[in-house]
Amino acid sequence: AWLELAAFQDEYVAALEEASGVHRTQGRAKAVREKKLEVLEQGLLKTKGSVPLHLHKIQVLLECGEEARAGKAWEELLRVHPGNARLWLEHARFLQAETTLSGFHVDAATRGYLRALGCFRDMLEGRRATRREPVEVERNIVEVCRQYGVFLCQCGLWERAVATFQALAELSMRCPSRLADAPLEEALALLEPFWDSGAPRFGDEGARGWAHLMEQLSSGQATALDAATTRTATTQGDCQELEDEIVGRRPSLVDAWLRLESLRDLHQWQPYRPDLSAEEVTSEDPERMVLYEDVGPALFRLRQSAAKLQLFRAWLSLLLGVDPEKSQTGFRLAEADCFERLPGTGLRMATRFSKALDFPSGWEVREGVADFAHEVLSQAKPHFVEPALGDELAQLALRLARLATSWDARKRKRCAKAWLANPSCERNLDLWTEYGLLLVDLGQPQEAAAIYEKALDTVSRDGALAECRGDIWLLLATYLNLRLGVLYPEEEEEPVDRTSSFGKDQALLVLSWFQSGRKFRNVLASPLQPSALLRAGAAIHACCQDPSGRTAGALGIALWTKFFVSGFPAASALAREWMDACAGNTEPGLQQLGVVHAAFVRVCTYWDRQSRVQRAALSGALSQALRDTPNVTPFLWQWTSLATGSLGALHVRRCLKELAQKECSPLAWLVALCFELARARTLAKYRTPDASFTLPNCRNHVRHMLEQVVESVAHRRCPLLWRLYIELELRLGTRESAKAVFYRALQCCPWAKVLYMDGVRHFPECLQEVVDMMVEKGIRLRVPLEELQLLLEHAQQQHHSSPDGC
């Protein structure tokens, strides 16, 4: 009730403003916040320290700019509830993302995350009472660890993040059997000698594990301990050659710093492990040597197989910069320093954003990171012998092949085939569906269709389908979507072979295959059998009658069957029936609602492309989809692409603004920004001197839109939005405004190293100031200016002393 009363203050003032037509001023907004604070403080007195009221009070204090008071409120809250692990996690997020530049330091935020991990670890080890199930506690602690790792990477501390996950994998997957039931402290004490030995760790080439080393030591057979891998030495040598090449060109101080800092960031992301057989065992950069003391406080032991798999999923997202599960909540806005890390945005959509905005803020692929990730999954494979868990690990491996853009097409296919060749995986239909999508990503839709046809042929044999795992409907629906050209309906260029016609007749043959008792390719080459189509339609109808059977593939096939057999009105009515059945705010209901909308939008897209006069149906389907699932980027993108002319542009602009202000995701703002820039390019293309005064200028609207998005409390901690704002101000020619935006960005996102790099790139005169701030705040600095100046002076001397330099 007290929270509702606090929210009522905003509603009451908003209603008065709407009635009077007066816009809210800063003074009135401040008065509303102060009134909300009074209400919340009264509520805290009456409820004796309610946690939700405390958290809301802290949020209001931050909106008022009272950072010091918010910090004291956090201290008071943690003093009253010292055992609440969720509060410790929220406090860590506060230390990272809710403090300004003056109050931020990497060490302080790191201690916050370590305290949160410590609370969950105490629950796992039975030192702290909890009513949560062990599975839930392990799932929570892995998520905290993922957020901690992403924070370290954003600060430039890649070595520590990777080392933390390596140590966790050794502790949970390769723990010696005699320590399986020992206290955690005893296991950690014995892990430290392994860590300091220089032996390869989990994910390194040739790593045999902690348990193997313990067996060697106990039997007296340990030799020189496998020292550092050749991979580490080779990478270091390649990086040194590239550095010498950059310095040898004698660039300016700013250009040299940017190039060397980026080069070391991309090459030196793995923790340095010395070659114990060499004379020199230390690194020139001491921070590359991650000691056990750096990772020990973050370690915990997992016992549930599902949580162990989640650990590898989190590790993969950390290395690749993309959520492999493509979930809507894979990343938080504070983690979004590039398009790939935006919540609900995958690699394909991120690439589309980057091209539309002409802004290469994509994920910077580390040298050798895809090979390392592949090695991690390969070493994890023997530890997941259960078919379900093994299938999920193989699914991760195939998604790695799809995300490993640094590999060539042959290597990506070879990696996927190696996992599919495993007898435990070859009968999983979902893996073959994923492999076909990989071929589509590689620009080989014909080969993808052939793979799908071969897989469907294989399961046509008697009893073969019962021996398979996975969703047959998903495989069939993906094949049909590919052949109909609506696999990615938001894309204008369809990944489909246009040399062979595929229309309604061929689609009916595909739909009639299920339970026909014939091979798939034979069905495609034969005339349509109405009885077979009726049997297949009855089977899919029976499957979708049960809500639990309404998977993405089953819903897609059912809608296509209804569309091709009974027409579009019948398909529309069926989709509406399913949408009504998904009503409710539960997470499963919303997920299934999104699946229904995706299937129906594909049908509408196909109908629109075939008839060329049914644009209203597609536009209506997308509008309804955005009302129900507003944060699905493909729907936003496709809907804006339908707008034509000035009236259409005004309608899209108004709707996107309403959607962006209503939702907490910045996706609507980004789509709106892409729309405005595309419209500006179109206007510039057709602008003539005689008619220029009649065409609007989008510059002020773009600037106003960006200012609105960064003023939002929910969005101001998103580094990507600030990077876009700085870039577009520079494009508009307002360098001083861009510089002011840069300093505002550092105030809001002081942990994001990419912002410091952007600042030096755009404003070279600020190099010394930016480097000093990085050192002061604990941001990873790989190229100190003193070292760089010595390198440049040495290169200059060599140039003058050489015969060519005389």
Estimate the crossing angle of helix 552-566 against helix 504-511, to 10 degrees.
130
Going by pLDDT thresholds of 50, 70 and 90, the confidence category of residue 226 is very low
Lowest mean pLDDT among 168-182, 747-761, 787-801: 787-801
Q: Six-digit token pair at 627?
A: 């009302």
222: exposed, middle or buried (Cβ count in 10 Å: 0-12, 13-18, 19+): middle
- Of residues 19 and 761, which shows the higher confidence score? 761
Fill in the DSSP letter of residue 102.
G
Mean of the pLDDT values across residues 119-133?
86
Going by pLDDT thresholds of 50, 70 and 90, the confidence category of residue 158 is very high
pLDDT of residue 595: 93
Q: Six-digit token pair at 441?
A: 């990503």
**Cα–Cα–Cα angle for 287, 160, 364, rounded to 5 degrees:** 95
Mean of the pLDDT values across residues 342-361?
84
Count of CB atoms within 10 A of residue 442's CB?
A: 17
To the nearest whole number, what is the mean pLDDT of the chain?
Answer: 85
Considering only CA atoms, give the Rg of the chain: 29
Distance in angstroms (rounded) separating the CA atoms of residues 374 and 367: 13
Q: Reply yes or no on whether the pLDDT at 629 is more than 50.
A: yes
Q: Reply yes or no on whether the pLDDT at 770 is more than 90.
A: yes
Distance in angstroms (rounded) separating the CA atoms of residues 765 and 770: 10
Q: What percent of the chain has pLDDT over 90?
A: 47
Distance in angstroms (rounded) separating the CA atoms of residues 460 and 597: 30
Q: Are 83 and 128 in contact (CB under 8 A)?
A: yes
User: Which helix (H) or strand (E) segment is 409 a member of?
Assistant: helix 409-420
- Of residues 343 and 165, which shows the higher confidence score? 165
Lowest mean pLDDT among 99-103, 157-161, 741-745: 99-103
Three-state DSSP class for 469?
Answer: strand
Distance in angstroms (rounded) separating the CA atoms of residues 176 and 640: 57
Going by pLDDT thresholds of 50, 70 and 90, the confidence category of residue 420 is very high
pLDDT of residue 390: 92
pLDDT of residue 227: 41
Lowest mean pLDDT among 307-316, 341-350, 375-384: 341-350
The DSSP annotation for 581-650 comes to HT-SS-HHHHHHHHHHHHHHHHHHHHHHHHHSS-HHHHHHHHHHHHHH-TT-HHHHHHHHHT--HHHHHH
Range with the largest mean pLDDT of 46-50, 245-249, 507-511, 712-716? 507-511
pLDDT of residue 382: 93
Q: Reply yes or no on whether the pLDDT at 14 is more than 70.
A: no
For 285-342, what is each residue's pLDDT tens digit? 788 889 999 999 999 999 999 999 999 999 999 998 887 655 444 457 888 888 888 8
User: Which helix (H) or strand (E) segment is 657 a member of?
Assistant: helix 645-662
pLDDT of residue 484: 93
Q: Reply yes or no on whether the pLDDT at 499 is more than 50.
A: no
Give bridge partners of residue 428 from the DSSP assignment.
Answer: 469
pLDDT of residue 341: 86
Q: Reply yes or no on whether the pLDDT at 733 is more than 90.
A: no
Work out the widest C-alpha separation in the chain, in whole angstroms: 91
Going by pLDDT thresholds of 50, 70 and 90, the confidence category of residue 22 is low
Fill in the DSSP letter of residue 462.
T
Backbone angles phi, psi at 428, to 5 degrees: -95, 110
Q: Are 752 and 774 in contact (CB under 8 A)?
A: no
Going by pLDDT thresholds of 50, 70 and 90, the confidence category of residue 130 is confident
Q: Reply yes or no on whether the pLDDT at 232 is more than 60.
A: no
Distance in angstroms (rounded) separating the CA atoms of residues 604 and 593: 16
